[in-house]
Structures are given as C-alpha cells and as structure tokens.
Amino acid sequence: MTMAAAADDLLVVDDLTLEFGGIRALSNVSLRARRGAVTAIIGPNGAGKTSLLNVISGFYRPRAGRVLYDGVDLLARPGYARAGLGIARTFQNIALFRGMSVLENVKLGAHAELRAGLFAAALYLGPARREERALTARIDGEVIDFLRLAAFRDREIVGLPFGVQKQVELARSLAAAPKLLLLDEPFAGMNATEKQAMADDIRRTVDARGTTVVMIDHDMKTLMALTERVVVLNFGEVIAEGTPAEVQADPRVVEAYIGVPEAEEAPA
Amino acid sequence: MISTIVELSLVGIASGSIYALGAMGFVLIYKASGVFNFAMGEMMMIGAYFLYTGMVIFGLPLAAALPLALIASAATAAGIERFLLRPLLGQPHEVLIKVLFGTGAMLRGLAGLVWGQDIVRLPEILPRKPVFLGPFLIPGTLAWGMLAMFVVFGGFMLYYRFSRTGVAIRATAEDQSTAEAMGIDIRGIFSFTWIVAGILATAAGIVGASVNGLSPYLGNFALEVIAVVLLAGLTSIGGTMVAGIIVGVMLTLLGYFLGGAWQQFMPYLLVLLVMLVRPRGLYGTKLVERL
C-alpha cells in the first residue's frame, strides 16, 4: 500500500495532536484522502474519529500538526470559512434546524456561496432576491430531486421519519456542491434497507460529481462495499490503513476492533 | 363604562406595541447569542436623544435627523457588542449581565451629563390631534406611534422569516456549530443582531419619548419590557407583540381604575403567575428543564 502522489490527495492531515486539558484525543495522526474516492475512518468508540472530523471542520484547535486542503492551510482559517472553500459535513446526531422546512435547511447548506452580504440580504431586494431564486431552482434539480426528497420539500423537519431526516442532512451537505464531504456516521440508527439506500446515494454522488468523501462509521459491512480506502484509529493513533481487504486482514485491527461483525472473515 | 374600557384598551394596545418593539430587540439578541441585554432600556433612551440632538440642537429636519439617529444608535449598539461583549466571549453569563447593567448605568450617566437631567420634549413628529376609531378616541401620538410600531414589527417579522440573513440568524439561534459548518459567520451574526436591536430600540425609544417626554430615565421603561419578554417566553419574536399588548392593556386599565401604585408591580405579578403555570412563558420553547 503505497501513498498516492500528493497531487491526487485533496486532503492531507499531517501529524495532528489534539489535547483536552492534558488528555490526548489524537496523537500524531496523519492521513490522506484521494480525490474522487471514499476514505473511511473506523475504530472503536472513543478512538478519536469525531475529534478528527471536528479538527478538520475547525471546531477544535489541535496542539500540533497541519491540515492541508487543496493546498490551503485549513487551521489558519476560521471555522465558517470551510463552507466557502467547498467543504461540507453531516453530524453524528442529526443536526438539522428543526424549526425550519426541508428546503430552508438544504438552502442553508449553500449559504456560503451567496454573494449578497448580510446587509443586502437583510433588505431582500434586487440582486439578493434574484440570487435566492436561482439557488432554489438549482437546489430543486440538483439536490432535492437527486435525493428523492421532492415529497418532503416544504415540510418542517419536526415529525419527519428518521431515515428522511438523515437524507435531508445529506442533501444539505450537497447543496453547495462540495469538493470535500465529511460524513459522521451516516448509517447510524438505520435499518438495512435505509443503509443500502444511503450507501447508494453516497456512491452516486462520488461517481457523478467527483466528490471526495471522508466518512466515519461502524457498519463494517456497508463500509467495506463503499470505500476505496480505510484508516483505522485506536486510542487516538492510526494503527492501520489500506484497502478494505488489507485492513480487514491486519491482525492489529482485528485485535483492536473487537466489534467487527464479520469475525468469521478475520484471520484467526 | 364599556366605552371607557374599550378606549383605554386601545390606548393600552398602543403603548403595549412600544414595549413589544423593545422586547423584540431583546429577544433577538437573546436568541442569537444567549445574552440578556440589560442595557436595552438605555439603548432606547440614547436613540431618542440622538434624534433630539439632530432636530433640536442642530435644527435638522426629521428626514435627515431620523436616519442619522438610527445610524448613531446602530453604531452604539455595534460598539457595545464589539468592545464590551466580544472580549468576554466564553465568560459565564453573570459576567455579561453585570457588564450590561454597568453599560446601562454608564449610558444613563452620560446622557445626564450631555443632555441634562430634565425632561425635554421631542419635536412633534407624530400628530397630536386625537384619532377617532369609530366612536372611540385615542391620543394622536399613541395612535400614530402604534401604526409606526406595527409597520416596523411586521416588516421585521417578514425579514426574519424570509430573508437570507433572517434564516442565518435563526440557524445561529438554533445551533451555533452547525451554523458555522454551513459557512455562517456567527460573530457577524452577533454584531448584526445588536445593530438591529439598536435600531428597534431607537424606534421604540422615539415613540416612547414622543408620548411621555425624554429624560435619562426613559430606560426605566425597560422594566416593563423585561416583563413582556418573560411573559412571551424569551425566545419567541412574534410572542413579544402579544405579550406587549397584554402588558400595555393591563397597565392602562390598572392605572385608570386603581391608580399608579398598582401599575408598578402588577405586570410582575402576572409574570410570576404565568411562570408558575408555564415556566417557559406563553410562547417560549423548552428552556427550563421539565419537572
């Protein structure tokens, strides 16, 4: 398993160390996400997977290390600048704005691309209004229809089935046509049919739009069929990486990852 | 008797709409940033003095003095946010509350120094001629003031509901980190809500001062405003209008039938009763943990 050439990597994480009051959440974590591929981060609970995603999102400041995105030093940028650079994410616990409709939520995903400033938008006149209409039209076609959400478009989030809410969160993250998509446990809490549909949607996005995906999940079976590359974290350190087959065969992974459901496939 | 009550109620609705506007600025800041703005009353007072300065001291026409007053109070509000609150981001809330109490006292003191302690009159922006609604008579300033309040309130509700910035404020109010992940500059939103609150406070202050006269103590109004905010439930922008009207009507009727002493505490007795039955206020969302 050789590292791909740097130009092929959209995201490069180098030697990241994150501490919370002396407790080390991440130690010298490095990983690369290849353009147009799905990279999965797996590992037992508390391994630091969400912490890693939160550093990339700019919620946490690491003690040391670098995060390069398309050559841009992400750690030097404020959290809200990520969206404008083409990075979108979903959250482990559904983080939709519950008081708003599906369409409003999805449109917020494209908030960063609206050019009208706070004050022009506040007056809701002229260019701001035209921009808003163009955005709605684009979102209807590229996101709402793409993810089969037309029937729910104008419904409030409260009261929508769980699987639909998950889909709306994915829709919101696709609204800005991101180059890098960070997905935190997109399959959590889903039944087998919903998981398959979600995996298909992620695959369709990557294949049709060349999106780069970095995702976390526990569902090994679904992940293994979806991802090109897997990085295994344990106690804040990368213990293995490679293709799904390589990682599954790695004895360190089997040892750390007691929760592997396909235990019979792991070497004894 | 009935016609007196109706007439007084109309007056109450009119004065209630002034409270509602102040309360709306208060709720907006609270929703976006969780800050309890105890200087809201003083922001109303300062805004009215800015208009007074433009019109009376510099002799400007209303058309010039009003925009200038709105700009000056927006700048004052932005300054409070930027230089007093931003450095305290992440501090416990009681620190912010103390700072804002202090800010209010400072604004009151400064206003006394600059404009004096006496009650002054704003030039007559609102016609004094009483307005007849059918057989009922309302003082002109109140009637026109109410109309102005409703226009500002309605305009703001539309903007908050439909404009991109309104959506960004609502998103920030609901979940700051998710809002940030959407590319919303939440610090920009904090500044913006203060600026809007400053403008709303000025509108309320000008109408309040037109009705009752202007002094550094106009901000005591804020006591009623806080009663309205608590009654509405801290997080409901639309609810402030209903709560404002309830408090306004109640105060006017009490003042007429029972005298001024009753006006002082009855709004709070009402708030207390509402809190006992419904701790989150009339329209608030879950805020106090349920028992």
Give the pLDDT confidence of B115-153 residue by residue, as tens digits: 999 999 888 887 778 888 777 777 887 888 888 888 888
* Parallel, antiparallel or unpaired: strands A180-184 and A237-242: unpaired
Burial class (CB in 10 A: 0-12, 13-18, 19+), A155: middle
Banded model confidence at residue A226, pLDDT cuts 50, 70, 90: very high
Burial class (CB in 10 A: 0-12, 13-18, 19+), A150: exposed
Contacts of B177 in chain A (CB under 8 A): 59, 79, 95
pLDDT > 80? residue A256? no
CB atoms within 10 A of CB A70: 16
Residue A14 has what DSSP assignment? Answer: E
- CB B182 to CB A114 under 8 A? no
Q: Which of A71-75, B63-67, B269-273 is predicted with the least confidence, judged by mean pLDDT? A: B269-273
Q: CB distance from A88 to chain B under 8 Å?
A: yes
For chain A, the average pLDDT equals 86
Residues 6+ apart with CB under 8 A from B210: B122, B124, B125, B126, B141, B145
Closest in A95, A108, A118 to B188, CB measured: A118
CA of B192 vs chain A CAs: smallest distance (Å) = 8
For residue B225, what is the enclosing H or E element? helix B221-232
What does the pLDDT look like over A113-131, one tens digit per residue? 776 555 555 565 667 778 8
- CB B180 to CB A58 under 8 A? yes
Contacts of B186 in chain A (CB under 8 A): 80
What does the pLDDT look like over A189-201, one tens digit per residue? 888 999 999 999 9
Contacts of A119 in chain B (CB under 8 A): 165
CA of A104 vs chain B CAs: smallest distance (Å) = 8
What does the pLDDT look like over B194-215, one tens digit per residue? 999 999 999 989 988 888 889 9
pLDDT > 80? residue B235? no
CA–CA separation, B270 and B285 (whole Å): 19
- CB under 8 A, 24+ apart: contacts of B268-277: B268/B227, B270/B227, B270/B231, B270/B246, B271/B227, B271/B230, B271/B231, B274/B230, B274/B231, B275/B230
CA of A136 vs chain B CAs: smallest distance (Å) = 12
Residue A101: closest CA among chain B residues belongs to which residue?
B167
Residue B174: closest CA among chain A residues belongs to which residue?
A97
- pLDDT value at residue A40: 94
- Residue B284 tokens read as 């608030």
Banded model confidence at residue B276, pLDDT cuts 50, 70, 90: confident
- Residue A155 tokens read as 């419904």
pLDDT > 60? residue A264? no
Query: In this predicted model, which residue has the larger pLDDT, A216 or B7?
Result: A216
- The single residue listed with the structure tokens 């991109």 is B164
Q: Can you give the pTM of this predicted structure? A: 0.79
CA–CA separation, A1 and A12 (whole Å): 17
Three-point CA angle A107, A33, A71, nearest 5°: 80
Q: CB distance from B124 to chain A under 8 Å?
A: no
pLDDT > 90? residue A211? yes
Mean pLDDT of B35-60: 92
Residues 6+ apart with CB under 8 A from A58: A74, A75, A77, A78, A79, A80, A81, A82, B180
What does the pLDDT look like over A16-37, one tens digit per residue? 999 988 888 898 999 999 999 9
CA of B157 vs chain A CAs: smallest distance (Å) = 12
Banded model confidence at residue A98, pLDDT cuts 50, 70, 90: confident
- pLDDT value at residue A125: 61
CA–CA separation, A90 and B246 (whole Å): 43
- CB A121 to CB B162 under 8 A? no
- CB A58 to CB B170 under 8 A? no
Contacts of B180 in chain A (CB under 8 A): 58-59, 79-80
